[in-house]
């Protein structure tokens, strides 16, 4: 399935999922007063540390900045 997805979208499945989660998180950060932990849970990260690491990897800053 992963190779089929890559052929269709041009990126691997996990990359697509992470980008989608970060995009949703950015909207939540802009539009609401949620904590980082709340946002992490809303974009399907059980551990906020994992969410912060992924967010920083894609955006260059932590979600709290």
Radius of gyration, alpha carbons of the chain: 13
Render pLDDT for 1-52 as a digit per residue (tens, 0 to 9). 888 999 998 999 999 999 999 999 999 999 888 999 999 999 999 999 999 9
Q: Domains in the chain, please, with CATH? A: 2-59 (1.10.10.60)
Whole-number Cα distances in Å, 11 to 17, 37, 49, 62? 10, 28, 24, 24
pTM of the model: 0.87
């Amino acid at each position: 399935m992963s190779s089929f997805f890559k052929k269709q979208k041009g990126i691997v499945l996990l990359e697509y999922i992470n980008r989608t989660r970060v995009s949703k998180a950015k909207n939540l950060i802009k539009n609401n007063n949620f904590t980082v932990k709340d946002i992490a849970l809303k974009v399907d990260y059980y551990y906020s540390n994992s969410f912060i690491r992924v967010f920083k990897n894609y955006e260059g800053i932590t979600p709290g900045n």
